[in-house]
Structure 1
């Protein structure tokens, strides 16, 4: 009898282990402030991104991939919760960015509300081991720490930006800029941060190769400060200034991604691992010389160059290589997609805005994942219905574009379609009624800054000139 019970236990354990191995591993490679045009797979002849170009060839490329906000912090809040961040009051500014009048009162208490579940929270229930490396930017206070938001391992920094080189004297450096291992153990890397993060990921994969894992690799590349290693700078002798630096930083980003992808193959995990690459918002051309062409606009504004980002997904076991998907998707779709891939029941996901992209990618569903998408920053807001895009301002008339014919957003059709504008305004107001009161507010002085950026980076003459200058198709 004991032998029978023992054999049954072995068979049961083997079955459970086998089932767990059917769950795909998930790696999310997330860049910071990269330009839409600054990748080979998007047509750049200047940047060197061979590893990400290969990822695009081996997977699915979304030609209309969006983020939930045009700035770092809110964008991350939306993707990690699978919903519009405005619905839980997280909007307007990067936190804890101290750009708000409330900063002196709220300080480190600004962050992702504790009642919001993250991707890691959901995947943990499915048996995943979760790790996050790099930039957190969802709250500095201990209560918002990654290890308290569903992650099992962390190496990175809590804030929004820091040096790419080891900080030698960190006594006077705020803790959100220090590199931290797990909780409260501050350890500066021994090499360039972008490379160090890849090394940490590799160690985690080696340690957890026999169990399903989720890795959120949130690079700070290519966000300011503009810092690159000499060997990478030498690869771009014909470039100067910030453009040379961002090219070198992008090369390092690509190299780090390549190390992770190579390790996947070495461990025999690549066939059943989902790999996603994306970016948190459009590139801030005036800050780091990134380019969003042929899109107009930059980070922090609502033109396509602020909201549309590189977006790749590879899953050899399920998705056909070399596929291009042309309907709009959002980074808040990643949560339900990962959850469904891991064997979760989508009906268990309450109160989210994202959708599971798997049936859309495979062709099981031929309709659009989203007919409606929204963005908002104080009084400024955007509503996209299919290919029509309405931009609302606080201090000037609304704009209307047909993105199927005008991705540069040059031909304002608001005067030609007044009834469409009215209907879209009404829908936008209805969406705003679903939001919570903002937990903090942006100083009004940034309205003019963002608006000026929109105007500066969308003249057709500039777009044409810049595309020719940087050899972009």
Structure 2
């Protein structure tokens, strides 16, 4: 009997040792998302006005993606695609935010959210042994059943809606921690004391310190630089040559950059940098007509399918795994984050049914040299777009479709539809075929706002054509 006990002890020790080594080899994953930032409003994107020294430093140690796309031109659906690895329209999450006065549905506001039959990357990473946390903006359903801690996240500190003040607030606009409920009253909440962007970084730093011995996944979902436009006097003073919204936006961007730098510094302090996969990107194009963000050289803004609405800055860093400080020029999608993160963690994304994202790791390591995607799609009710290699077709409800060669004309100033009618027909048909596989929208935009979206795009084009 003693002999078998000794053998059992050795087997258990071996099992725990192997488990520990596997856990140590799994990379930590830090996914940093900003909100409504302009494509060109970063030093690493060429800005001479804005100051982003921490992100610029990260860019020098990263792969910079020059053609990174989101799956939607507005916040909520873009996030639904990122977290599920699927075109959100596949499960009825049309390119419309939730809940919202702009939407119409048989569903009540609190019934609008990321459908409960959809799993998130946090769900799957937790199965791989990760501790998971979300700090910041959720925007995928206000009801308790949609709460982040019921969607794969062990910890949550932030707000469920689409925007809130950056300054200490009152009982009408609160931060929640974990499963605190709005109905419980103001006394059960821990409202931050300072600037919210700093607070979110501090929460991420605390999580790193508490979980440094285990693999972890952090989704640091800043509301910066979304409205309301609020900045500290100290940050505003850094931009004496700017005025108005542009000045405030620069100050808010600087605060976010500083907060990101604090998180990266903590990773280094804990000796975790070499074994951490870091991604920074933005949720959609900048609403330049609202916050004076700069999407140049791209045309368009948030909420439309011109490049400025759907192409975003994108950095990925993983020390000793990638040949960093280089660019990747094929089109990718934020849908690719799900399979890429899961594969890095040791999971098998091919076992998950219905993913539209692609594991980018073989492409970044040089094991695959072709483009990750032959086609990319966008749809907002009657509006839609399709990207096929260098070609991009945009479909409108109130005018003929437009065709651009993005490789030669990323500013989308030369519509080639009349010169290439067969390409228009081919891509139009391909887009429609893709749509046939989608679910009906669970909620839709009120028609008046679809009209305003067209007016907004036309106003942008008219203004920028004069420049």
TM-score normalized by the length of structure 2: 0.96
Q: Of 137, 146, 149, which aligns to 2:139?
A: 137
The answer to whether the aligner puts 1:203 opposite 2:199 as a matched pair is no
In structure 1, how many angstroms separate the alpha carbons of the residues matched to 2:236 and 2:378?
Answer: 37
Determine helix, strand or coil for the equivalent of 2:429: helix
8 Å CA contact retained: 2:289, 2:460: no
Q: How does 1:131-210 map to 2 (within 5 A)?
A: 131-167=133-169, 169-170=170-171, 173=172, 177-184=173-180, 185-210=188-213
In structure 2, how many angstroms separate the alpha carbons of the residues matched to 1:4 and 1:420?
Answer: 69
Please name the residue that 2:307 is paired with: 304
Q: Of 114, 117, 120, which aligns to 1:115?
A: 117
**1:24-67 CA distances to partner (integer Å, 9 max, x unpaired)?**
00000000000001000010011000111111110100000000
Please name the residue that 1:127 is paired with: 129
8 Å CA contact retained: 1:297, 1:454: yes
In structure 2, how many angstroms separate the alpha carbons of the residues matched to 1:8 and 1:234?
Answer: 63
Please name the residue that 2:386 is paired with: 383
The answer to whether the aligner puts 1:393 opposite 2:389 as a matched pair is no
Please name the residue that 1:251 is paired with: 254
Determine helix, strand or coil for the equivalent of 1:58: coil
In structure 2, how many angstroms separate the alpha carbons of the residues matched to 1:424 and 1:4?
Answer: 65
Please name the residue that 2:277 is paired with: 274
In structure 2, how many angstroms separate the alpha carbons of the residues matched to 1:439 and 1:48?
Answer: 41
Matched pairs, number: 457
Q: Of 357, 369, 373, which aligns to 1:354?
A: 357
- By how many angstroms is 1:101 displaced? 2.8
**1:363-421 CA distances to partner (integer Å, 9 max, x unpaired)?**
11000000100001110100111110001111111100000100010100001111111
Cα RMSD, aligned residues only: 1.3
In structure 2, how many angstroms separate the alpha carbons of the residues matched to 1:348 and 1:363?
Answer: 23
**1:69-89 CA distances to partner (integer Å, 9 max, x unpaired)?**
000001000110001000000
Please name the residue that 1:462 is paired with: 464
Please name the residue that 1:468 is paired with: none
In structure 2, how many angstroms separate the alpha carbons of the residues matched to 1:346 and 1:198?
Answer: 30
In structure 2, how many angstroms separate the alpha carbons of the residues matched to 1:453 and 1:321?
Answer: 39
- By how many angstroms is 1:453 displaced? 2.5
8 Å CA contact retained: 1:408, 1:458: no
Q: How does 1:39-78 map to 2 (within 5 A)?
A: 39-78=42-81
Q: Of 31, 36, 43, which aligns to 1:33?
A: 36
Determine helix, strand or coil for the equivalent of 1:338: helix
8 Å CA contact retained: 2:105, 2:442: no
In structure 1, how many angstroms separate the alpha carbons of the residues matched to 2:288 and 2:348?
Answer: 42
In structure 1, how many angstroms separate the alpha carbons of the residues matched to 2:247 and 2:382?
Answer: 37
Identify unmatched segments of 5+ residues in structure 1: 466-473
In structure 2, how many angstroms separate the alpha carbons of the residues matched to 1:439 and 1:102?
Answer: 7
8 Å CA contact retained: 2:125, 2:342: yes
- By how many angstroms is 1:464 displaced? 9.1
Please name the residue that 1:469 is paired with: none
In structure 2, how many angstroms separate the alpha carbons of the residues matched to 1:127 and 1:135?
Answer: 24
- By how many angstroms is 1:100 displaced? 1.5
Identify unmatched segments of 5+ residues in structure 2: 181-187
Please name the residue that 2:183 is paired with: none
8 Å CA contact retained: 1:49, 1:254: yes
8 Å CA contact retained: 1:92, 1:440: no
In structure 2, how many angstroms separate the alpha carbons of the residues matched to 1:362 and 1:146?
Answer: 33
8 Å CA contact retained: 1:294, 1:463: no
- By how many angstroms is 1:98 displaced? 2.3
In structure 1, how many angstroms separate the alpha carbons of the residues matched to 2:399 and 2:102?
Answer: 24
The answer to whether the aligner puts 1:440 opposite 2:436 as a matched pair is no
8 Å CA contact retained: 2:300, 2:307: yes
The answer to whether the aligner puts 1:431 opposite 2:427 as a matched pair is no
Q: How does 1:81-120 map to 2 (within 5 A)?
A: 81-102=84-105, 105-120=107-122
